[in-house]
Amino acid sequence: DIQMTQFPSSLSASVGDRVTITCRTSQSVSRNLNWYQQKPGKAPNLLIYAASMLQTGVPSRFSGSGSGTDFTLTINSLQPEDSGTYYCQQSFGAPRTFGQGTKVDI
């Protein structure tokens, strides 16, 4: 199975800050890496797919980069509604695997 290492596990930032979350995979997943935001009591919501493609309806302050084994999610100009937990997930093969999550406090 492809192991996912995500860091930091939590962070606190202020409105307007730039935030970066990192995800590392145990083997190359090419660009088959996706990012989700989850609010308490809700299902995860897709933000970024294929490492850098913005899902329809997601604000442009979210961006993704990387390929191979190292990926980043960046939130520019952090907004109050961006609080939640963020997960990376690889779709290179089965089983699909997720990172452990990064909790973002505003």
Partner 1 sequence: QVQLQQSGPGLVEPSQTLSLTCAISGDSVSSNSAAWNWIRQSPSRGLEWLGWTYYRSTWYNDYAQSVRSRITITPDTAKNQVSLQLESVTPEDTAVYFCARDWGDWGYFDYWGPGNPVTVS
User: Which residue from 25, 34, 37, 102 is in contact with partner 1, where contact means CB under 8 A?
Assistant: 34
CA dist., res. 87 & res. 36, Å (int): 5
Query: Quick check: 20 binds partner 1 (CB under 8 A)?
Result: no
Length of the chain: 106
Site membership for partner 1, residue 89 (CB under 8 A): yes
Q: Is the peptide bond before 8 cis (omega within 30 degrees of 0)?
A: yes
Question: Which range touches partner 1 (CB under 8 A), out of 13-21, 35-43, 59-67, 76-84?
Answer: 35-43
- Say how far apart CA 79 and CA 69 lie, in whole Å: 29
Q: Of the listed pieces 13-21, 62-70, 71-79, 86-94, which binds partner 1 according to CB under 8 A?
A: 86-94
- The answer to whether the beta carbons of residues 95 and 85 sit under 8 Å apart is no
Q: How far apart are the first and last CA of the chain?
A: 34
Binding footprint of partner 1, residue count (CB under 8 A): 23
For binding to partner 1 (CB under 8 A), which residues are involved? Answer: 1, 32, 34, 36, 42-46, 49-50, 53, 55, 87, 89, 91, 94-98, 100-101
